[in-house]
Chains A and B, each alone.
Chain A
Amino acid sequence: MDKAETLDASNSLADKIATKNASTNSLDTADSKSSSIGSKQGVDVGAARDTPFVYLDGEEDQDLKNDVTYVCPFRGPAFGALTITNYRLYFRSLRDHDPPVVVDVPLGVIARVEKIGGATSRGENSYGIEIFCKDMRNLRFAHKQQNHSRRTVFEKLQSYAFPLSFSGRLFAFAHAAASGPSPSPAENGWAVYEPLAELRRMGVPNDMWRITKLNEAYSVCDSYPVVWAVPKAASDEFLRRVAQFRSRCRLPVLSWIHPRSQATITRCSQPLVGVGGKRSADDELYLSYIMEANVQSDKLAIIDARPSANAIANKAKGGGYESEEAYKNVEIHFLDIHNIHVMRESLRKVKEACYPTIDDSKWLSAIDGTLWLKHIKCILAGAVRIVDKVETMSTSVVVHCSDGWDRTAQLTALSMLLLDPYYRTLRGFEVLIEKEWLSFGHKFQQRIGHGDNRHSDADRSPVFLQFIDCVWQVSQQFPNAFEFNEHFLITIIDHLYSCRFGTFLYNTEAERVAEDLKHKTVSLWTYINGSLNQYLNPLAFSHGAQTVLRPIASMRYVKLWKGLYCRWNPSIRPQNRIYHRTRELLALQDQLIKQVSDLRMKTSSRQTAQTSTRLASPMH
């Protein structure tokens, strides 16, 4: 319980300690169950200073109440002190509980705050505040009616959890402003992804593909990045015309190219076919350029992530899909992945099944009933299908859904992860997120609703969470194929909501540039790369022969990620004994290597002193 809830601030001081002690303490900090928001070091430091937690740079107290009861669903009501800062809500019980009950939640995680009970409410703990979080938990605090403590708490929570609804700014800006000078380029997470360098890594530009900065001012497509890789045959003027035929001008642009076969993954939005079945000669020609850029295949696979019924229905709204009559040598596949609303509803059911209590006798059917795993399976199956096309058939694929920023991002990112071992390294994965999700305009602001109090906004959806879940599923099937561990994924999810870093703020690259996030906020990758050790997977086998992963997309393997969705429940034990054992053995191995090395050094220097001839002969 306390492990799960004893969360505190990870802050610069704690981080420094963490880094310093990483070699010895990483075993504890990598406890996949604990939230990444805090680390044990922080608790210790806090305790030593006799303050409840360590303040982040730019974090300031907003409210403090000493007579609040946290109605803990697992350990019962706990009486204690509640602190609200501009970054977090912090509660620590004052008596009755050993270890104390601690709740530490970044305000960004809060989706909704509600008052419960009125002046006339009777019964214990029936008057107070209920907080609904984006990270699968609800918190309930009871106040005493007579001393009116609830009102200020409620107001402070409202204004600091939802600054955008109350003309404030997200904490990330205050944090960065108080953090001092930005880190050196080597440590700066904002420099992790360099579009041109990443394309160069893939061998672009080459004979068939060129790089264009046509979108320099985001004038062609406001949700695309500046740098595009496109078929050489397509001129800039031509690209402008093609963009007109694609929803929100998101024309097909290169995501990944196979190093040997030159088969590519390109992404876009749906074509604007409409009810009348409009055609665009430019778009048709453009797709044929993409196909021709890969000499290995005389076909082009169009992967439409949607169920075919939805694709047809989209025609009524002016969208649609590529007809095989209009586009020569094209085969279209529908992947049956449902839209953001279905996914949101599904996750809501997962929360119902996991929090706060689990009905053990109905656990399996409850999980089945959420359909969450089925959706995950669908996405995995889609990615495997793309891998099959690209790797086995050497066919280029064009991936789209409706707007090409939700399901498309899931599919391209996941299939790239399966195809290219680079993206399975920690830094590679950061690049993958920066590239496929952030630069290509997945609308993080809308989907997460940072600092916005419209909790029932229909644009919110756990699309990115679903992608991280898929990555976790793959890592379960290939436990040594990833350089990073589960804790890394959970950290990303935690800071997806926390608003402490600039990484996931705003919807598009254009907005981020306009807001100058690179200078006004800190990148999540700066933070993570600063204490790499705890995010590394000890099982990773860097020499793994396997470059292409083909996970099995069957419900027999897709599992509920208990380490994420059930982590607030203290009775769910993390299963990381093997992980610890591996770390122990790795440490032993390193120590032995050092000893052998030292010994050999000594022996050889002695030998050199004695006879110089013996060294030349091979040792036996």
Chain B
Amino acid sequence: MASISDRKRNTFLSYVAPSPGDIPRQEGSDDWLPTELRDLHLAKPRLLPNELVVASAPAYLFSAILPAPTEGSELDMSRQAIFGLLSVTNFKMAFVPLQRHKQETPPQESYQEHLYLQRNDVTLNNIDYVYQLAEGGRVSVSALSGGNRRKKLDAQQKVMSSRITALHIICKNFRLLKFAFQNSRSGPDYGKLIASALARFAYPSRHDLSFAYCYREPYYSMLGKSSVTMYSTKNDWARELIRCGSNEWQVVSADSVPQLQNVLQAPKYTLPPHFVIPKCCTVERFLDLSRAFYDSRAAFWVYGYGNASLVRLAELKPAMQQDTKVENVTLELVRKCDPRHALKLLQLTDRLPSIQDVQRAYLKFRRLCTPESPQEFLVQDSKFLSNVEKSNWLFYVSLCLRYSCEAAESLRSGTTCVLQETNGRDLCCIISSLTQIILDPLFRTIDGFQSLVQKEWVSLEHPFQTRLGHVRGDAAEEDESPVFLLFLDSVWQLLQQFPDEFEYSQTYLTTLWDSCFLPIFDTFQFDTEADRARAVNFGNLVLRPVWDWGEQFAEKDKVFFTNPFYQRQRQEQQNRRSVAIPAGAVMLPGLAQISSIKQGQQQRFTTINPQLFVTSSTIPKDRFLEPQHRMVDLAIWEQCYYRWMPILEIKHGGFPQIDLNHRLLLSNIAKLQRCLELQDFEDLPDIYYERTCEKRPLIDNTTRRRNSIEMIDGVERRRKSSLPATLNGFNSSKLLPEISSFFPFSINTGESEQLIDILTNSNEFLLEGSFMERLSIA
């Protein structure tokens, strides 16, 4: 990318939307020009039930930063900008390109297709900053400190008085959208129209203004089959206690405690609906103690490893701080639950950044990932690593990992670890969750991870609504902080270091972050469970957990949530890693499968019987991770942070190549395995014929296609009408589909049947469990 380094090139970019005359005319068609709104009716945003358009205006969408122009060609505005209709609704900001010749335009959809959002849509919750660029005439983007030319639109809802020529929208998920408006002095000020709509709708002052309350579509859960534990019942917690073998603790449900049901008493406490406290302490005594702590968070059990427990604790309220007796008593109670009476207190407030620090780091880091002009990109690039260091974001990730390792180490050595933080609801969630991921392979599965988020974040009430800025009150901005992203980044670092230990992929984590801003799903929308309950009871909110991924994505996208490198039950003996597979060790799947299901059942579906608390935990003690946590060991989560910068898209490169290569391998193995089992050799993979030099039998293409369509539910609608190019003698099936480094978030450059085939078969493999594992059983 020579142009990145070439600063002398004239990169001045005017911010004026091209006048219609600038747009290259299509031959024989001059009636389509968008001088009037004539054709705009063709570009309507797709609306959900009860979604209303607030404002619409013709606009030009600009590439976030321009991809390198080819040598010698001038920056061609009309080529870089897409004309279309920009709308603000009560749910999203949508941009629908207006293209006359559909087939001539490059595809605009990414591979990952969202059922609610198009490629150029963002939800209002996702919008963080809106910059208004103004002045009649030309405004240079390079003038970042543009003074009066550039103004942030914020919760104070100040729309610029002068004419708005462009809007820069910076999203919480690192996306930057740039729109420019038609600049005719006589015409309406479209920019202002959109800006004021955003000012009114993107910064709601109350939660019940969210679209979540308007969207009343009934929800039919498809979660039944999966085993996400929601931690919404007492039994969920009891089951976890049993799984961990923690006998010294008891579950308390708020609705069974008279004090918490008493109208006069209840407001003194801010307790979650269910929590786990020491058995040696009566509920009354515990409530008594809890009043001294922030948010009533006195010593909640969250996890047990051997005899040691992981406990979350808030700090004493300022008024109580002179008297640390309450804290000592509380810790003594925790100590009593540990047979060795050992306890390690990990004070997170001193060790970890404050939520404000996290927010500052996030903003600085996001700035590096959302440059608004090529110049800014280059300036950042010239000192990139120093800039990253200055943002502190990676440093905080490193700290999170470091103290999680410390907590995990404590638990492994049999010492109970108490995590203490001001309110026990922010960084506590990170350290607690990471510690469990490090120790327990269950939380490295998709279901386990989702259960973990339910347990540590949702049911123990991380204030998502405030931290993610779903409501923008007057002082709300101070409390905003992407604590959850810091957690996801830390998990990603673990995934980097142990790619074969996780069932979920980075795409899953990235998508999860995106999902935080979809009000339709309630999981990340509330501060407390009480708020959620109120919304259901009084706001008629439909609860729709984000974990039901089928609500958002088709199967073909869900496939990428699994990690092709995962080894479900890898033997933990160090020396066995590289042992070659003994010949003839392939087992018939029937036998092995039964045993693996049995194991799964043991872990997941133990019937609950509070009287019969088993004494020992079922958590394997040999599958803990030993992650590295220094800065030198960390990397930047490119997929999540870079994906909106087309300039950084490596065509045909990047990690997805390895990912897909592996899926191909798994798919081949699955096919071969199936052929062996069924003694049917019709669907042998290409690699077989290539290696053995056998002649591929001619199979009627239509039968083949029909077969595969039957196998993949929900994908056939995406089939292209054309057959793969095998007929031309060019064996396209041997080629890996062409994907780029941001796949599946990149623009879809056409998928092949091959891709679907690989995905279906490899996923079968992943779902059924590793064949390697069967081998090891043999």
Contacts and interface: CB of A to CB of B under 8 A. Distances in A.
A556 B669 contact: no
B632 A392 contact: no
Contacts of B499: 577-578, 581
B565 interface: yes
A365 B5 contact: no
B662 A479 contact: no
A572 B632 contact: yes
B386 A557 contact: no
Interface stretch (B428-436, B544-552, B675-683): B675-683
B724 interface: no
Residue with the greatest number of chain A CB neighbours at <10 A, chosen from B652, B675, B691:
B652
Nearest to B684: A596
Given A336-B5, A381-B2, A480-B658, A581 B500 contact: yes
Interface string B491-530: 0000011111000000000000000000000000000000
B45 to A, nearest CB: 33
Interface stretch (A141-149, A401-409, A544-552): A544-552
A108 to B, nearest CB: 29
A543 B5 CA distance: 32
A200 to B, nearest CB: 26
B692 interface: yes
Contacts of B70: 388, 392
Interface string A443-487: 000000000000000000000000000000000011111000000
Contacts of B680: 619-620
A586 interface: yes
Contact-residue size bin, chain B (C-beta under 8 Å from the other chain): 35 or more
A588 B772 contact: yes
A66 interface: no
B596 interface: no
Interface in B156-173: none
A585 interface: yes
A477 B638 CA distance: 12
B657 A480 contact: yes
A368 B5 contact: no
Contacts of A578: 499-500, 565, 658, 662
A554 B4 contact: yes
A499 interface: no
A600 B689 CA distance: 12
Contact of A573 (B1, B628, B654, B691): B628
Nearest to B652: A546
Interface stretch (B123-131, B178-186, B285-293, B575-583): B575-583
B776 to A, nearest CB: 11
A576 to B, nearest CB: 10
A382 B398 CA distance: 35
A389 B3 CA distance: 13
A554 B67 CA distance: 13
A581 B565 contact: yes
A545 B736 contact: yes
A551 B650 contact: yes
A27 B2 CA distance: 38
A575 B494 CA distance: 12
Nearest to B736: A541
A61 interface: no
A134 interface: no
Given A554-B4, A595-B586, A361 B631 contact: yes
A384 B2 contact: yes
A555 B654 CA distance: 15
Contact of A589 (B389, B648, B665, B775): B665
A460 B5 CA distance: 27
B394 A480 contact: no
A206 interface: no
A589 B669 contact: yes
A477 B653 CA distance: 6
Contact of A364 (B631, B651, B697, B772): B631
B691 A595 contact: no
A230 B394 CA distance: 53
A431 interface: no
B758 to A, nearest CB: 12
B385 A365 contact: yes
Given A368-B386, A597-B692, A585 B652 contact: no
A342 interface: no
Nearest to A553: B1
Interface of A (DSSP majority class) = helix
B719 interface: no
A585 B386 contact: no
A539 interface: yes
B51 interface: no
A151 B658 CA distance: 54
B567 interface: yes
B176 to A, nearest CB: 15
Nearest to B765: A585
A619 B697 contact: yes
A245 B394 CA distance: 54
Nearest to A542: B734
A373 B681 CA distance: 52
A261 interface: no
A591 interface: yes
Nearest to B657: A480
A552 B676 contact: no
A279 B390 CA distance: 52
Contacts of A25: 578
A2 B772 CA distance: 30
Interface string A213-224: 000000000000
Contact of B669 (A364, A389, A552, A588): A588
A373 B691 contact: no
Interface string A569-587: 0011101011011101111
B385 A367 contact: yes
B388 interface: yes
B390 to A, nearest CB: 8
B276 interface: no
A589 B578 contact: no
B632 A360 contact: yes
A554 B2 contact: no
A596 B658 CA distance: 26
B701 to A, nearest CB: 13
Contacts of A480: 657-658, 661, 736
Given A28-B578, A385-B2, A551-B650, A575 B496 contact: yes
Contacts of B738: 545-546
A562 interface: yes
A618 interface: yes
A27 B581 CA distance: 13
Contacts of A392: 70-71
Given A585-B665, A618-B698, A368 B385 contact: yes
Nearest to A27: B578
B1 A381 contact: yes
Contacts of B632: 358, 360, 363, 562, 566, 572
Interface stretch (B205-213, B315-323, B376-384): B376-384
A582 to B, nearest CB: 7
A413 B698 CA distance: 44
Contacts of B638: 556-557
Contacts of B382: 374, 555
A568 to B, nearest CB: 14
30 contacts: A23-B580, A28-B578, A336-B5, A360-B630, A360-B631, A368-B383, A369-B386, A377-B5, A378-B5, A388-B2, A478-B650, A539-B658, A543-B735, A545-B736, A546-B652, A550-B650, A552-B1, A553-B1, A554-B1, A554-B647, A556-B636, A562-B632, A572-B632, A578-B658, A578-B662, A584-B772, A592-B672, A592-B673, A618-B697, A619-B681
Q: Which 4 A-B pairs have the closest CB atoms?
A: A385-B2, A27-B578, A592-B672, A555-B384
Given A479-B655, A585-B662, A593-B688, 18 more contacts: A360-B630, A364-B631, A368-B386, A369-B386, A374-B382, A389-B71, A479-B653, A480-B661, A539-B658, A553-B2, A553-B4, A554-B4, A572-B632, A575-B497, A591-B581, A591-B586, A600-B694, A618-B699
